[in-house]
Amino acid sequence: MKMFLSKKAACNTHGQDSSYFLGWEEYEKNPYDKVHNPNGIIQMGLAENQLSFDILESWLANNPNAAGFKKDDGTSVFRELALFQDYHGLPAFKKALVEFMSEIRGNKVTFDQNKIVLTAGATSANETLMFCLANPGEAFLLPTPYYPGFDRDLKWRTGVEIVPIHCSSSNGFKVTQSALEQAYKDAEQQNLRVKGVLVTNPSNPLGTTMTRSELNLLVNFITEKGIHLISDEIYSGTVFNSPDFVSVMEVLKDRKSSCEVQNRVHIVYSLSKDLGLPGFRVGAIYSNDQMVVSAATKMSSFGLISSQTQYLLAAMLSDKKFTKSYIKENQKRLGQRYRKLVSGLEKAGISCLKSNAGLYGWVDMRRLLSSKTLEAEMEIWKKIVYEVKLNISPGSSCHCSEPGWFRVCFANMSEETLNIALERIKGFVESMAPQSQHQRTKTSYKKSLTKWVFRLSQSDGAREPEER
């Protein structure tokens, strides 16, 4: 008997056919294991932070009551937690979370726990904001390159459209006034009503923080257009080098922006990257608009954080000695690992965009392309996945308009595994050298031939200039 699905279930807007997800599928078929499958695919397409688990595990070992759902006096709170189902969340956890968010931002801004909505991860937070701020068929502008999962998170169930703000490597992929205006114009030409701009700061996949100038530009733009700004700041605690992270909330504070503007700026946060806890599914929306907070809180009932998770993390994040030490050490380790990635790639003749945050590098392999096309990028990507056995994310999956860029993650593996991955990349680049030399020779020959034909044509005075 044939089964029929709803249009929503059967539609193909999930983005599962993206090379970003296809790379994961190949990895899952043949995952690398040092002992059991040393020739398998190494996962470098997953932005997980596994560098500081030992610090978290040490805290758990030293605080058995929190992990055992007990109060400091040893009294069990298991029954209370098992029955708690208020979608507003545990007050102790919300208080600890907003204080942790402030600490990450150098306490330059503070957050009100009554303006935060708890969600099952940042995926849920971003989708909930789409439901709150836009109708099906309306649009949000996103700077490219952007996280491939946004095609799923923002569009699939909401019916909201994404219009790219095309950014260029010529200025480090920074957002410009002209790019913003062009994207807005593109949306209008598609008969799409623009409801807002969404940015990731620090950027995924670039690994860079937005400058104060860029943030002011964005606030000016959304003020002029009367639209929203969502700042996804889930990597805010991963900044390992200067310049320091600047939250859009800090910019609003310094500008002394009106309440009307502040109400149209919203923050998405999560503990998946900063604490390395994606499996705990802890996300949050922060908004000054009480109507957004109220609507998002109601919607959060479809994706709550378990009360047990909230209880444990409330205790952890309330330990100020721990959070201060963790943030400092985690950022130090991320910086060391990033420098190791960059150094290894440089030995292979590959460069990266200069980054100061995140769990990945934005790697420039343009010189390895046979041509400046998407097809050439995919050709390289397939070789890296199937032959070199590394799952990395091609720039096209992030909607980068310049072929040849790749996102390469470095924090979801041991240093030993990273060394193996870098050796594989080095071997791959060396194997490409004869091909690259052949391509350069071929190009040089074409240029010489073109010059020869041009000189020959100049000697023919009967030709019109347009025919040369």
User: Hey, which residues are catalytic here?
Assistant: 147, 232, 234, 273
Report d(CA 396, CA 362) in Å as an integer.
12
> Which contacts qualify for 60-68: CB closer than 8 Å, 24 or more apart?
63/315, 63/316, 63/319, 65/315, 66/311, 66/312, 66/315, 66/316, 67/312
Strands 161-165 and 139-143 turn out to be parallel
| 427 Cβ neighbours under 8 A, 6+ residues apart | 388
Closest C-alpha to 363, from 19, 45, 53, 76: 45
User: Residue 37's beta-bridge partner residues?
Assistant: 33
- Beta carbons of 127 and 284 less than 8 angstroms apart: no
- Beta carbons of 273 and 49 less than 8 angstroms apart: yes
